[in-house]
Structure 1
Amino acid sequence: MTEIMRRAAQQQVDGPEEYFTGHATIRGQFARDEPSRVTGAIVTFAPGARTAWHTHPLGQTLVVTDGVGWTQVEGEAVQEFAAGDVLLCPPDRRHWHGATPDSAMTHIAVQEALEGTNVTWMEKVTDEEYEAGRSASRPDA
């Protein structure tokens, strides 16, 4: 039988302060039973909110369902994305993502665990790093 996680029963928690700047909420967190390695959640960022720098051992897929956001892989320019876009974050590369200063953003995050780890958190993104997003533009916007 298919298991359904009803929205009304999904726990919603605030994004931990050590891993997020600004207000973010996480709901619908899931982890499939072994042998699957898939984990995920629905994350909503208030305007200006973002993750800390982090990596995923096998990469991460973000399906953007609402709003506009920014993301950056270390050493690359900040990129803008919007509802309907799908981000394929590379394995083991430092990156961050979050809302723009003027728009909230929601994405469904899906990643795989490797040897029990699906994310390694690092330091927070500085305001200067985040503000570099102001020069980002979407090629098809």
Structure 2
Amino acid sequence: MSNSTNTPQAPAGTKRGAADYFNGTAWVTMLAGDNPTDCTVADVTFEPGTRNNWHAHPAGQILVVTAGRGYYQEKDRPAQLLRAGDTVSIAPGVVHWHGATADSLFTHLAINPNIKQGVADWLEPVTDEQYLAAHNS
């Protein structure tokens, strides 16, 4: 959908990702949250160069990449380049980050099960050096 100047409009309910948890600009649309499944699903778009902080999920997480190119990296492991159609299954408590490459948007569905255990434990930002190293993984 666009307005009279052909500027794309974000879907209803889309919010900018909190600056406390993202380096750069990310957009989050909750697709499922208040439901009896104890599971949330969010559509997250990272602008080029944007990444989230190191974090972990008490009950794990599944990422389903829907557009663009991005990275996923677990602490003390090499980063993985992700493209549309890729999925990542993250075990409970695994410290990691994800975000866009420097030259591409990156969109994924973030599926968080068993949210009564908590959704995310946010940690320190990914440094510029850590992010740049992902390009060389």
> Could you say which residue in structure 1 is the equivalent of 2:29?
27
> Could you say which residue in structure 2 is the equivalent of 1:4?
none
In 2: Cα distance, 1:28 partner to 1:37 partner: 14
Alpha-carbon RMSD? 1.6
**2:58–2:92 contact (8 Å) kept in structure 1:** yes
**2:11–2:29 contact (8 Å) kept in structure 1:** no
CA-CA distance at 1:91 after TM superposition: 1.3
**2:65–2:87 contact (8 Å) kept in structure 1:** yes
Which runs of 5 or more structure 2 residues have no equivalent in the other structure?
Answer: 1-9
Letter in 1 for 2:22: F
Q: How big is each residue's C-alpha offset from its partner over 1:17-45, in whole Å with a ceiling of 9 and x where there is no partner?
A: 000000100013432434x2211200000
> Could you say which residue in structure 2 is the equivalent of 1:135?
136
Aligned residue-pair number:
128
> Could you say which residue in structure 1 is the equivalent of 2:53?
52
* TM-score normalised according to structure 1 size: 0.84
> Could you say which residue in structure 1 is the equivalent of 2:116?
115
In 2: Cα distance, 1:56 partner to 1:97 partner: 13
**1:10–1:28 contact (8 Å) kept in structure 2:** no
> Could you say which residue in structure 1 is the equivalent of 2:65?
64
1:135 aligned counterpart, secondary structure: coil
Letter in 1 for 2:69: V
Which runs of 5 or more structure 1 residues have no equivalent in the other structure?
Answer: 1-7, 137-141
Change (3 A) 1:114 1:42: closer
In 2: Cα distance, 1:9 partner to 1:73 partner: 31
> Could you say which residue in structure 2 is the equivalent of 1:78?
79
* TM-score normalised according to structure 2 size: 0.87
Q: Percent of counterpart pairs with the same letter?
A: 40
In 1: Cα distance, 2:63 partner to 2:82 partner: 11
In 1: Cα distance, 2:88 partner to 2:22 partner: 19
2:94 aligned counterpart, secondary structure: coil
* Deviant stretches of 4+, over 2 Å: 113-116
In 1: Cα distance, 2:128 partner to 2:31 partner: 28
Q: How big is each residue's C-alpha offset from its partner over 1:103-124, in whole Å with a ceiling of 9 and x where there is no partner?
A: 1100010011353411111111
